[in-house]
Amino acid sequence: MVTDAYSVREGLGEAAAFYRSHPLLNFSYFAIVIGVTMFAMHPVFLLSSFFMAWCYSILLRGIKAIRFNCLVLIPAILLMTLFNTLNVHNGVTVLFYLNDNRITLEAIIYGLASAIMLTSVIIWFSCFSVIVTADKFIYLFGRAAPVLALTLSMIMRYIPLLQHRFREVAAAQRCMGRGLKGSSWIKRIRQFGKEVSILIAWSLEASIESADSMEARGYGLRGRSSFHLFRFAGGEKVLLAAILLLGGAVVAACAAGSMSIYYYPAILLPRFTVLQWISLAAYLGLMSIPMVLDMRGIHEWKLSHAAM
């Protein structure tokens, strides 16, 4: 049963096959896909990116993705298109006049295209946030500068700690009869300020001990390295090569101008030649890599459980 491995409601989330891949793969994939989505304004490429982004976001985030995409992004597309239509009066095909302003077909189409581009990028980023978690980010930057990696890791440590402390401060103040329900809002704002200042004083005091603990474990010695738990296995090298190859082809095609399109003053589509077909295929192939991995994962899991 598919439902064992993948629940449509919840989405795959951190169970996704691509989630377990090396951060370098995750990062290069999203960098290329989001980059190409932003620069390739050819309608065929735009729509394919839009479609793939929808598929992957639903696979990863389940019903939440559908809800967000439908309720927030579709209205946003309509709004952006309307905005462009009413504000831009370039273009040769005049449909009608509104308050002495030209409403042109080109403006409508360009508005729609850029709205779709923007929403695709947003959806891709929602997938990115599932796949690339903070520790992957930390790892990637740690390769360049270990201190930066450490700083990011410390920030991730202090956010929950400060939240916890703040709750404790607020509870302690309440039990002293401060900041209660029913007191005036000026009093409550002053009380909030007081609680923040307690939090700051307490945290500064605690950070002295943290600094000692870092110092005691050799912080500041020359030649700091960065530890991680990621492995770059053999299969991942092949995958990285595939991502770079397909991505390279698409980027090259972009750079050669095969995906550029003129919207103003009149829409000018380049002819769809063999080269365009090849780059479209490469683009679709690139975008589908994580989904293929997931499908393979679900299939493997089913097989291994069927055998038992």
Q: Which is nearer to other proteins, 157 or 299 (CB)?
A: 157
Compute the distance between CA of residue 277 and CA of residue 285 in angstroms, rounded to an integer.
12
**Closest separation in Å from C-beta 189 to other proteins:** 15
By CB under 8 A, residue 215 contacts other proteins: yes
How many residues sit in the footprint of other proteins (CB under 8 A)?
A: 53
Other C-beta atoms lying within 10 Å of the C-beta of residue 81: 20
- Do the Cβ atoms of 269 and 261 come closer than 8 Å? yes
The residue to which tokens 């919840």 are assigned = 10
Query: Of residues 8, 79, 206, 241, which one binds other proteins by CB under 8 A?
Result: 206
Q: Which is nearer to other proteins, 87 or 163 (CB)?
A: 163
Structure tokens at 63: 């019903």
What track of x and - describes contact with other proteins for positions 158 through 197 (by CB under 8 A)? --xx--xx--xx-xxxxxxxx-xxx-----------x--x
Compute the distance between CA of residue 257 and CA of residue 91 in angstroms, rounded to an integer.
22
Segment near other proteins (CB under 8 A), from 38-46, 75-83, 216-224, 232-240?
216-224
Q: Which is nearer to other proteins, 94 or 212 (CB)?
A: 212
Which residues make Cβ contacts (< 8 Å) with residue 139, sequence separation at least 6?
23, 149, 226, 228, 230
Q: Which is nearer to other proteins, 4 or 168 (CB)?
A: 168
By CB under 8 A, residue 257 contacts other proteins: no
Of all residues in the chain, what percent are helix, strand and coil, respectively (each to 5)?
Answer: 75, 5, 25
Other C-beta atoms lying within 10 Å of the C-beta of residue 211: 11
Write the single-letter amino acid at 281. Answer: A
What track of x and - describes contact with other proteins for positions 117 through 156 (by CB under 8 A)? -----------------xx----------x---x--xx-x
Q: Which of 62, 108, 101 is nearest to 85 (CA)?
A: 108
- Do the Cβ atoms of 106 and 90 come closer than 8 Å? yes
**Closest separation in Å from C-beta 188 to other proteins:** 12
Query: Of residues 144, 186, 209, 273, which one binds other proteins by CB under 8 A?
Result: 209
By CB under 8 A, residue 216 contacts other proteins: yes
Q: Where does this chain bind other proteins (CB under 8 A)? A: 134-135, 146, 150, 153-154, 156-157, 160-161, 164-165, 168-169, 171-178, 180-182, 194, 197-198, 201-202, 205-207, 209-210, 212-229
